Structure formats: C-alpha cells, structure tokens
Amino acid sequence: MKTETQRVETVEAGRAAIAAAAGRLRDGEVVALPTETVYGLAALPSAEAALRAAKGRDEAKPFTWAVASRAAAEQLVDLSALGPAKLARRFWPGPLTLVLPRRGGGATLGVRVPGHPVALAVLRELDQPLLLTSANRSGCADARTAEEARAALEGAIPLVLDGGPAPLAQASTVVSFAGARPIVHREGVIDRGMVLRTAARTVLLVCSGNTCRSPMAAALLRGMWAARLGVKPHELLEHGGQVVSAGLGAPSGVRASDEAVELCAERGLDLRAHRSQPLAPELVRAADLVLAMTAGHRRAVIAEVPEAEAKTELLDPDGADVPDPLGAGIDVYRRCLLAIERALQRRLARLA
C-alpha cells in the first residue's frame, strides 16, 4: 500500500482532502490526522481490527473515542456527575481524555473532543465517533508532524492529513473518577493540579475583609468536610472538594486576625498561612456554591456577578446574618465561630 499525504492549510481550503479522508474512513480504512496534542491514527469503530493492525496494538488495550462535541460525548458516556461535567466544560475541545461509564452500562470508554480544526472537521464530516490513538507503532515515539506519522506508518495506511506540526506536541491528559475523586492516569498538557482544582466541588465563603469570618468558616468547613470523607483536610482537594474564601473589600495579603487564628487553633485548624484576597468575578464564576455571611454580602456578590444568583446563599440556612466580630474581644469572636459552625453543620450533608 502506498501512503499518500494531503496538505490541509485551513479547513476551508482543505475541504476536498477532509472529504477524501472521511470517505476512506467510511470505507473501513485507517487515516492519520493532526490533533492539537500529537498526530492521531483514526478509524471507525467497525474498523477496529484494521486500526489494531496498523498500530500493532494487542487486543487488551482500548482506544480513545473521539467525537466532535460535548453533546456527542454525552451520547456515549455519562457526563452528569459534577467533576466530569466541569472538566468537559473547561477543557473540551482540547487535550483531555475522560474515562467514564458507558451509556447503558458495561465497560468504561475513554472519550475526547479534540481541539484541532482538521480533526474536528473530519469528525463533523462523518457525523459519528472515531476510534483514535497516536499515529505510531505501539511502543514507538509519538508523531508530532505529518512527516513523522508517515515515516512511522508508511505502507500500513493509505492517507495522512498534514495540518502542520501538532501545536502542543504532548499527549492528552487522561482522567477517570472514583466517585467524586479524580484519578489522573496520564499527565499531559493539563497538569494534575489543574485537573483537581477544576473538577472539585468548590465552595466560596464571602465576608468583608477576609481576615476573620470567611477564613474561619473556610477552615471549619474544610475540616468538617474532610472528616466526613475520612481524609485529612489537606487531602480534601484530591477527594473532590475545595474551599476558598474572599472579602468584598479585602486587600491582598493580610493575615487572619489573631483571634481567628487562636480560636481555630483550639479546634486543631491552622490559619497562620491564610492571606486575604479580594472577591473577584472569576472566583464567583468558578464556585459551585457561594456562602455569604450577611444579606448585604449576598446582594453585593449578585450585583457583581448577576448569573451567580441561584448559587449564592446566606451561610445560615435560616437567613440570619453572621455579625462582624472585627475589633471586638475574644468572646465575641467565639460566639461568631460557634454560629458559623452550627450553620456549616446543617449544610454539610449537601456537600459530602
């Protein structure tokens, strides 16, 4: 078999080459095409045997399923859980493979929406998923250019679409879930920390100066949530939870008040490393739940980010404000801390 290369400068200019690639795929052939990570080797699911032969991959190792959109992915796998849904919204199209339960039960599937215009154009032309793997022989280096893909697969496939060098030149990040906990199987362009922060159920606590009420609330919630999951507070993020705090009028970098540090220490919680941060719209948008200390704080959050109204609530489920203890004595701080603790205990079941 002679392997042909067709250059695709742009999707619009390369319509004929894209249509030709789609036609070969419909005929059960295997085609190499560019993705944003590395060059990929693609075939229809019905041509899996041909793809395995071209790749030299054994029967035990599955292929990724590539689709053109998040909606198409939802036809294959269950994206309803919070963590997968957040990762898909943030990183698709892009260098992320999610390994999730298949619709209708059975084995999991690794699914990806590639971020390269040529790969997406082929998928849209076909209007069906493709099996996708790196365009090389098993065990060999990934191909980052069409020339490398052709050199690796010369005579084994009929066509390489040349969309220029792969922009990222690094494999996709592969993530599955154990409950709410993300498991990073392969760290690619998206690093593990970014996966954990994006996938986590994030609670944002808001007060005025971010030196007493909201940092105390954040420390308490982090400890209570972690205890409910049976992990240490510093392990909460790895298990799908994240707690942050900010202040509507807060400067950056101010330490927590001495009283807040002392009272949290009595509960085994360390606020010494806390530094205040002002409330920014991106913090609100990234949060899944915003808990405000007072009705005034809630109104201010909604005024700043109107689309956050549905997820912005008072900390106290009964609607009572948590008064500011700043400048008062330790007894006032203690009453404040106890009020925060009671409110959080009532809310915890919704989070863990």
350 pLDDT exceeds 90?
no
Q: Rounded CA gap, 32 and 67, in Å?
A: 16
| Closest C-alpha to 292, from 155, 283, 128 | 283
Mean of pLDDT values over 80-87: 96
Q: Starting at the earlier edge strand, list the strands of the sheet with 201-207.
A: 241-247, 201-207, 289-292, 312-314
pLDDT value, residue 204: 98
The pTM for the full model equals 0.92
- 200-350: CATH homologous superfamily? Response regulator (3.40.50.2300)
Could you give the residue range(s) of every CATH 3.40.50.2300 domain in the chain? Answer: 200-350
The DSSP bridge pattern shows strands 201-207 and 108-112 to be unpaired
117 pLDDT exceeds 90?
yes
352 pLDDT exceeds 70?
no
Q: Rounded CA gap, 115 and 83, in Å?
A: 20
pLDDT value, residue 67: 98
Token digits for 125? 């032309």
Average pLDDT, the chain: 96
Could you give the residue range(s) of every CATH 3.90.870.10 domain in the chain? Answer: 4-190
For domain 4-190, the CATH architecture is: Alpha-Beta Complex (3.90)
63 pLDDT exceeds 90?
yes
Contact 306, 281 (CB under 8 A): no
Q: Rounded CA gap, 114 and 71, in Å?
A: 14
Tens-place pLDDT, residues 176-219: 999 999 999 999 999 999 999 999 999 999 999 999 999 999 99
The pLDDT confidence band at residue 90, using thresholds 50, 70 and 90, is very high
Enumerate the β-bridge partners of residue 101: 108
Tens-place pLDDT, residues 269-283: 999 999 999 999 999
